[in-house]
Chains A and B, each alone.
Chain A
């Protein structure tokens, strides 16, 4: 149903869109017109995603390095991460994304376990290296790190100046790999290489695939063996997913790349199924693993209790074992008791309230499920750095124009592995699945699941956000830290969906409960009623006195 049909107080959505656009100089307007779309779920319009950021528009997007180190490879806790460059990049990516690992434990006088994520290593380049080259310093830094930590593997990340001065980090990695006898992976992820962090995801996928996946052929021990791709353990999400999979008896061989060990990644090509959480950041890996090793993949979502249940059922159905299918139902039934009880508590607070989400390359979609379970209405959503397929679905993939920026990123030519390729599904089984409507390589995108006449906004600007808040007065906005305080200054609670503020997990069943409670707490907090001083309140027509109703409560 169209949004204005359910809520007559709202202005026509085209008007809202025009309000957002009319301020821009004509060139900027033409670009933004393609990125602000009035949604039609039945036939999503083409959106201008993954295009260059307009200089001077204050974007929420990050850089290639951020996508590579910060998102995809950074969470691997037992490899040593070394940033080659001046100090800022390493410093700002040091534990600032909450991909959790267990804290170092010194309780018995000696450190237990390995967690290198508390360390931020950088070559801290100075003028000398910019002028004369930084390879020597990099080499010395690798050797020093080896002497000190003796890691299983190291990853080296290039920052902007590295590519410009021509340091051959790959040659350094090769030399040091030979010398030290450990795996050393170098990534050319200079910040300027792509239009956003998305370029960094692709570069990271390529390297993890060529330099880590497939190094250890040991057969997994579980009865059902899967990988979870695109799950980064923000706020402990991966731990909750592990808990559920332990309950149903499915063995997770590897996660890319939250709460995972290097050894698990090297061995993850032995799994029988890849399920994909964050389509944007990891779909490359799923495709390459299917081509090379014959592992099929499909999209799942563990954000939302119903979505988790649906995803578990699909995985069980894939394996087709009655025992597993039954066990999954038992676990869902048991877990849903608490979920339902919490929903009953929060719905009176959340039901019917409006919400908007601007985050990530998948999260703005996934979190709609959680808000939906609380009966909140999504009025607008958009990604920061996603591509057209994340909005419109994978069916548009053949029609996406490859521009110069995307061409800069290597597209690996993958062949089936002559020895290890093993099609997990026979042609006959595939046909059966197809007949039953069981989809592989599937992602329908966000737009098909959003209501008609909602606004889809790619890479939203502050100005557009301001108009959106004015018009829709959402009860809560899901976004990131760069918007958070603007939204909250205007009296609307903002939940960070990149890093979860201090909270989490929000995945799985227990995560859903956490999220419901968190949103209810935020929306019903008394602080919002003080945002506008009594003498600044608009006079209420009913009784002529000023109203101090909280913004959120007024909806």
Chain B
């Protein structure tokens, strides 16, 4: 286990002289070059998309809604509607309250949403729009009518990034919808599960895992159907699926909350932390179930909860219990690690991703003998310890850790570290191409391959899929570059 002081590395450049690229960056750049993060309201729109019958309105200029839609659509390849309050220059001067109210009227008339999510943009935040007040006025003016629930979140892109926007929105949903539990719960005890910014396949995995041990889980949010649905026989104004708002309302009565993600789960402002403070719902934090050890931990915790035990699981306190099917899955995964170890051992990998996924990938790679030489994220991370919690390499080397960086800095480090493989989203393609190494696509955005929403990162099966892909990518790369054209491996 090792911990790297990110602050001492941030902004560092490789020494001059042996530079392959004609460009080098200054020590502390003023411009962001090829950002490794998206904007705050994008995260909000994604979280809202995971609530049943929810349509989001971005309060600001219409370009924000259009850009964010087109970006999310190019990743998920699914319809994605986001409304806008469409500020004009006049509204930017005098305020856009009127626009927001008209927007709400039109969205309600045309889409009949069960819930409207209102997220602010830079424009609305810069002019200091008081959205809660506008919404109060709106509700009062519609006193005798049925209007959908409205949840608002403040998401100026100049403070934070998509990852912050996502988690802030999850928190806002819970904070604004969850009620004091009434009466005694008689049904099956439920848990709240805050999975984070995952692929649709990951979300399905989480639901399946809970079902298998007989736990009723409120997965918040859940865009596994809304952003990865089938064909439609008729047009649907809002796609089916999503967390029912009743689940969010009732999250205060759950026996426990689990928040996943090395960093999200320990954030003091998380939805789980809020439910703990306000309603005394026990809060269990753990990293994403990626690789063997963290999947063991997640599934054991679920087994605990299935028995009504809300204590945090610890490897010393209990023997892992898995159902036979899952146990075979785990066993096959280890068998494949054995089959592939000679191809991957010591191979150097550069990884960039959102913080939770980055920590998970690092942990998974360290189990397989691949050596993470660079771990990078565009998000600013105050406490970097959890990112490298489970990083270990056989030769004792430690990876370079970069936080709050852009792709230009990541590329500089890649040129220096010469990885055999890059793992990250589509934005890693230019540096992979420049260095002539393969890129295994994970996370978001993936807009140069199909199936981004079905990339499974979690569980034994996710590790299995990733492992096979990584080994085969390395084999293919070697095969394609070989002089002998060997085909019997």
Contacts and interface: CB of A to CB of B under 8 A. Distances in A.
A66 B63 contact: yes
A551 to B, nearest CB: 11
B87 A122 contact: no
B328 interface: no
B145 to A, nearest CB: 13
B67 A86 contact: no
Contacts of B156: 86, 127, 130
A56 B66 contact: no
Interface string B114-148: 00000001110011000000000000000000000
Given A55-B100, A193-B89, A87 B63 contact: no
B105 A25 contact: yes
A55 B85 contact: yes
Given A122-B32, A122-B35, A462-B237, A25 B109 contact: yes
B310 interface: no
Interface string A111-132: 1000000111111111101100
B473 interface: no
A82 B64 CA distance: 18
A96 B74 contact: yes
A319 interface: no
Contacts of A123: 30-32
B38 A125 contact: no
A313 to B, nearest CB: 38
B9 interface: no
Contacts of B71: 91-92, 96
A439 interface: no
A54 B98 CA distance: 12
B469 interface: no
B204 interface: no
Contact of A481 (B70, B82, B86, B233): B70
A193 B232 CA distance: 38
Given A66-B67, A96-B71, A532-B231, A404 B90 contact: yes
Interface string A324-335: 000000000000
Contacts of B30: 123, 137, 140-141, 143-144
Given A58-B82, A164-B123, A405-B89, A28 B62 contact: no
A52 B122 contact: no
B110 interface: yes
Contacts of B103: 55-56
B33 interface: yes
Given A56-B104, A144-B26, A195 B66 contact: no
B79 A463 contact: no
A491 B88 CA distance: 37
A88 B68 contact: yes
A58 B83 contact: yes
A462 B83 CA distance: 12
Interface string A64-100: 1110000000000000001001111111111010000
Contacts of B158: 86, 125-127, 129-130, 161
A62 B433 contact: no
A104 B102 CA distance: 47
A227 interface: no
Interface stretch (B17-25, B174-182, B340-348): B17-25
A28 B106 contact: yes
B432 to A, nearest CB: 12
B159 interface: yes
B67 A93 contact: yes
A88 B67 contact: yes
Interface residues of B, number: 82
Contacts of A475: none
A318 interface: no
A192 B91 contact: yes
A55 B99 contact: yes
A345 interface: no
B382 to A, nearest CB: 15
Interface string B296-338: 0000000000000000000000000000000000000000000
Nearest to B229: A489
A96 B88 contact: no
A56 B78 CA distance: 20
A160 B126 contact: yes
A392 to B, nearest CB: 24
A160 B31 contact: no
B284 interface: no
A62 B126 contact: no
Interface in A380-412: 404-405, 408
B233 A532 contact: yes
Contacts of A62: 62-63, 66-67
Contacts of A143: 30
A124 B29 CA distance: 11
A485 B77 contact: yes
Of A93, A124, A163, most B-chain CB atoms within 10 Å: A124
A159 B20 contact: no
B106 A54 contact: yes
B86 A54 contact: yes
Contacts of B22: 110-111
B125 to A, nearest CB: 8
A191 B32 contact: no
B26 A148 contact: yes
A531 interface: yes
A87 B37 contact: yes
Given A93-B67, A104-B430, A144 B20 contact: no
A221 B306 CA distance: 81
B32 A87 contact: yes
8 contacts: A60-B66, A86-B39, A88-B38, A88-B41, A104-B434, A141-B30, A161-B123, A164-B92
Interface of B: 20-26, 29-35, 37-42, 57, 60-71, 73-74, 77-92, 99-100, 102-107, 109-110, 121-123, 126-127, 156-159, 161, 229, 231-235, 237, 408, 430, 433-434
Give the 4 A-B CB pairs with smallest separation, nearest first: A63-B63, A88-B39, A56-B106, A56-B103
